[in-house]
Structure 1
Amino acid sequence: MVLTVNDTRSVCCWLRFISQGGRMIGAGFVAPRAAVLQLIPRLVCSRSMAVSLQVSPGRCLFDEPLQVKVTGLSPGQEVTLQAALTDEGGETFTSVGRYRAGSSGELELSRSPALDGGSFTGIEPEGLLWAMEPQTPFRRLLRKDVQSPQRVDFALYESHEPRGKLLATAAQERSFMGEGVSRIPVREGRVRASLFLPPGPGPFPAIIDLYGTGGGLMEHRASLLASRGFLTMALAYFDYDDLPKDLGGLHLGYFREAVQVFSRHPKVNNQEIGLIGISKGADLALTMATFLPGIKAVVSISGCNANTFAPLPCDGFTLPGLAFSTEKIKFTDFGAMDFSDAMDDPVDPTYQECLIPAEKSHASFLILSGSDDKNWQSALYSEQLVTRLKEHGKNAEYHCYPGAGHLLEPPYFPLCRASYHKLLGLPFLWGGQLVGHARAQEAAWQKIQSFFRKHLTQYNPIQSHL
């Protein structure tokens, strides 16, 4: 005996008859009540279950994993999942994953592999985040307003190519400041910065955060570190407010003043300071640790072991700036400057005075670089630095990540292979391979936190609830 139901209305009628204890009559036969009851779950599932797209948690920190699950699909159904966000400048970044539902009509990004033809392949739960690309070439995802979350929109479509009708949508807010973290602008003496204070009585391990030749005030990494229990100062040093407009106006005295201002904060633990810097900010961090007191731990990301580009006046002497050869600058076939071979060799005897004598520092060092850095040869510079430090019995930990480019950001930031460089006024090549760079950002972020927890005493972890 086979029963057929053509629409939801028929099911409702049958249910009403059954609820009254009746026997169903259809097409010349009488169906036992028990047989119809066994059939109803399959009928209801096949006709009335809606497709559901679940993204969790609904709000989280930007560095937290992504969980996406889809239910209500047909077994083996092919679908396209798109993620999109719009930055503060109005630029839209998107990524696409192509999937095939399992035998139960579900797919879960932590277990379901992305198929060929999308932005990434394989089991990549966060691929929709780190594989995002801008609609406009040479745009880099940054976040200046860290007090507001970044909204990410997800859309599920039928089929692959061409994309079919919209099946479901969802959204997630990814924040940079955890619950209870406060942002305090710093304008004391010459120092221009932002302080990020975790909740609680403290004291906290304290970190000064320095970015590179783009200038301005970059706060996204500092705010995330504060959300993980560190008291941080995002320090601007040029092209911001009334600071010098270019690197030629730098002086070590400015960084000394920043350390003094930060150390006086009542919640800085034991007046011990950690430093984290990327690119030009990394060699500045090395210089600070070498010539300024109170620096306990340093993280150098994609840095150089010499003072770069512009001379840095110090107390009674000047560190010359490591130069570059214009004839070694190349351009890619898509119009970006490839600077990777242009810098002079810092260990060449001609440029010895540019080298930062970091072995004089009492700090511990974590050195991070990527094998596909196209800004400069940070892997080579890092190896030179680590060798020199270890020759002098200094504590240095080094990691070079395969496939990683220059811009090693916190986890799930999209890879930026090339972007418009504000200082140079043209597109600049940073390097990086999609999956390798994403893996490096996750691994480096954990290394950074573990390193600071180890070397900055009295670490007080916090639980951030958004």
Structure 2
Amino acid sequence: MTNTTFIKATPAEAQFTDAIAVIAGGFAPGATVRLSSELVDDAGVKWVAYGDFVADANGMIDLATAPSEEGTFTGINPAGLFWSLQPESGTDRRFMIDADNKNHMLGQPLFDPLAPQTFTLRACLEGDAVAEASLTLNKLAEGIEVIEVRDGRLRGKAFRQKDRSKSRGAIMSLTGSGGGVEMGYAPALASIGYDVFSLAYFAYEDLSEFLYAIPLEYFEEGFEWMKREFGATRMAVQGASRGGELSVVLAAYLPHYVSGAIPIVPMYAASAGWNHKTGETGPSWTYKGAEIPYGKTLDTMSMEEMKRIGEELPNGFPAAPGYKIDMEQDYVRRDCAIPIENAAGPLLMISGLDDAMWPCAWGSDLIVNRLRAKGYAHHYEHLALRETGHITPLPNVVTTFAPALYHTLAEVFLACGGTAEGAGRSALIMWNAMQAHYERVFGG
């Protein structure tokens, strides 16, 4: 390395969702320089990203304005060195299928979800490293108490601000069909000042293994917990995929608790619940002893067949076409649409236009049409993201494997749609919209 060349990240330590400025300099004008990032995860897997850049007349390269000509990403993309990280072994999907941990099955580096991640940035000329810098991205800001929740039948994690001198909004964050406890959006939302309850509702500890006939009374207990433990007076809910569907359900059926919602890649009607071991289907949700109306599946394809097709197709089994047929049935459109007009606050639907898992953009449009037809009194909008599929990550999260997903419960390879670059670009748009939505719900 020389004393004149440099690479720099600003800030050198930040929250994971922050925009990071990366610049390098001290090169000959017109020199081709490879800028790279490296991250070694807790399993010892090295993740790398790089781009080849041409230095400007001042010998400088700024990722905000300089295009990568070749690499794990191309074009002008300020966050390219983060979302395009890939295992050193490459991007073959066997990395997910053969993984022995959930993070790798989902195409993500293996880390404690709340631990800081440290990246090494390098500048190389003709294969030789000539400058190096370090960047640390924190998942959780200072001043937040993490609480393991095992209260009655409630299970999950809560993120509570230690400073209780002022009132603040409280958010319930929900997972999708993979179950467990939501640990992606929740710490990010807590880090911008909200109290957050990541409430597990199946496939976690002693909860049911299956997304099947889950009573909404469970979530009522969760909101009561938030009122008691957070002192919350205004609460919102958000979730992705089946959690997005659930967010619509909770906003519609529990408006006395929900002051706003962000359904992410949601559906306009409830889907069938499913025992992934037996294949049995039925209601996903119940309330006051009755089933929430749902769309019954017409497809009789076995799990074995889905797995076979998922293995054969380059990006896995595309469930969206069959799912849309199910949800377009006359009785579903007529009798099963979630009565979202009963909600009591602002709504932000977020969808990927290229979703191959289920047609969430179509479903979100049906939600909007219902709100329009019913004269909904509160703010609502649908953010439809281009080149984005079922995966909607936060800024700087790896999206290399986003077009496909290895479902950790069903053990089937599923197509998600979109592109890695599209998901990477959409992340900041989505995060900005989420922050604006919660400012509307809770006040700036």
Which range, TM-score by smaller chain?
Answer: 0.7 to 0.9
Which has the higher mean CA deviation after the structures are superposed, 377-386 or 403-412? 403-412
Deviations 1:165-193 (A, max 9, x none): 22222221111111212212211111112
**Matches for 1:214-363 after TM superposition, within 5 Å:** 214-248=178-212, 250-268=214-232, 271-292=233-254, 293-310=256-273, 311=283, 312-324=285-297, 325-326=299-300, 331=310, 333-334=313-314, 336-343=316-323, 344-351=325-332, 352-363=334-345
Contact (CA 8 Å) 1:346, 1:355: kept in 2 or not? no
Distance 1:222 1:111 in 2: 32
Is 1:152 equivalent to 2:138 in the alignment? no
Question: Aligned pair in 2 of structure 1 residues 400, 227: CA closer, same or farther (>3 Å)?
Answer: same
Secondary structure of the equivalent of 2:141? coil
Task: State the alpha-carbon separation in 1 of the partners of residues 128 and 396 from structure 2.
Answer: 28
User: Contact conserved, 2:2 with 2:131, CA < 8 A, in 1?
Assistant: no
> Deviation of residue 335 (structure 1)?
5.7
Question: 2:296, 2:326 within 8 Å by CA — same for their partners in 1?
Answer: no
Q: CA deviation at 1:299?
A: 0.6
Secondary structure at 1:338's aligned position in 2? Answer: coil
The answer to whether structure 1 residue 169 and structure 2 residue 114 are counterparts is no
Instruction: Go from structure 1 to structure 2 and tell me whether the alpha carbon gap of 1:277 and 1:180 turns closer, same or farther (over 3 Å shift).
Output: same
Q: 2:365 aligns with which of 367, 379, 383?
A: 383
> Which deviations, in whole Å up to 9, do the C-alpha atoms of 1:12-67 show, x marking residues without a partner?
xxxxxxxxxxxxxxxxxxxxxxxxxxxxxxxxxxx974422222222111111122
Looking at structure 2, the residues matched to 182 and 336 of structure 1 have their Cα atoms a distance apart, in angstroms, of 40
1:127-138 to 2 correspondences below 5 Å: 127-134=80-87, 135=90, 137=93, 138=96
- The structural deviation recorded for 1:437 is 2.4
- Residue correspondence of structure 1 range 30-109 to structure 2 within 5 A: 49-109=3-63
Specify the code of the residue in structure 2 equivalent to 1:256.
E
* Number of the residue aligned with 2:428: 442
Q: Which amino acid aligns with 2:223?
A: V
Give the alignment partner of residue 168 of structure 2, picking from 204, 218, 224. 204
One-letter amino acid of the structure 2 residue matched with residue 315 of structure 1:
K
Instruction: Give the direction of change, closer, same or farther, for the CA distance of 1:257–1:291 in structure 2 (3 Å limit).
Output: same
Q: Look at both structures and tell me which one has the larger radius of gyration over its CA atoms.
A: 1
Match of 1:15 in 2: none
Deviates more, 1:427-436 or 1:93-102: 427-436
Superposition RMSD in Å? 2.3
Q: State whether residues 35 and 124 of structure 2, in contact with CA within 8 Å, keep that contact through their aligned partners in structure 1.
A: yes
Deviations 1:217-254 (A, max 9, x none): 12221111111111111111111111111112522121
Q: 2: distance between equivalents of 1:261 and 1:49?
A: 57
Question: Corresponding residue for 1:37?
Answer: none
Question: Shift of the alpha carbon at 1:153?
Answer: 2.0
What is the one-letter code of the residue matched to 2:394? P
Cα distance change on mapping 1:254 and 1:437 into 2, 3 Å = same
CA distances 1:402-426 after superposition (whole Å, capped 9, x unpaired): 1111111211222211121112102
Cα displacement string for residues 382-408 of structure 1 (whole angstroms, at most 9, x for unaligned residues): 111110112111132112111111111
Q: Distance in 1 between matches of 2:46 and 2:3?
A: 33
1:326 deviates by 4.6
- Taking the aligned partners of 1:183 and 1:126, their CA distance within structure 2 comes to 29
Shift of 1:300: 0.8
Alpha-carbon distance in structure 2 between the residues aligned to 1:142 and 1:90: 10
Counterpart of 1:434 in structure 2: which amino acid?
A: A
Q: 1:224 to 1:428 in 2, by over 3 A?
A: same
Aligned AA (1:294): Y
Alignment correspondent of 1:402: 386
SS in structure 1 opposite 2:205?
Answer: coil
With over 3 angstroms needed to count, the CA separation of the structure-2 counterparts of 1:313 and 1:88, relative to structure 1, is farther
Question: Which residue among 366, 387, 396 is the counterpart of 2:348?
Answer: 366
Identical residues among aligned pairs (%): 27
| 1:135-171 C-alpha deviation (Å, 9 max, x unpaired) | 4623422676343101222222223xxxx12222222
Q: Is the 8 A contact 2:263 2:350 kept in 1?
A: yes
Task: Identify unmatched segments of 5+ residues in structure 1.
Answer: 1-46, 460-466
Work out the CA distance in 1 between the residues paired with 2:58 and 2:3: 13
2:101 alignment counterpart:
none
Counterpart of 1:273 in structure 2: which amino acid? Answer: M
Q: 1:55-107, CA deviations, whole angstroms, 9 ceiling, x for partnerless residues?
A: 22221111111222222222222121222223444444322111122233222
**In the superposition, relative to structure 1, how do residues 57 and 326 fare at CA in structure 2: closer, same or farther (>3 Å)?**
farther
| Equivalent residue number for residue 456 of structure 1 | 442
State the Cα deviation string for residues 310-359 of structure 1 (Å, max 9, x = none). Answer: 11221031024434325596646326111121214435223244332212
Tell me the TM-score normalised to structure 2 length. Answer: 0.85
Match of 2:66 in 1: 112
Q: Is the 8 A contact 1:346 1:354 kept in 2?
A: no
Alignment CA distance shift 1:286-1:132 (3 Å): same
Instruction: Kindly provide the amino acid, as one letter, of the partner of residue 119 in structure 2.
Output: V
Query: Please, which runs of 5 or more residues in structure 2 have no aligned partner?
Result: 97-103, 274-282
Q: How many residues matched?
A: 405
Asked if the contact 1:110–1:124 (Cα under 8 Å) also holds between the matched residues in 2, the reply is yes
Contact 1:146 1:175 in 2 (8 A): no
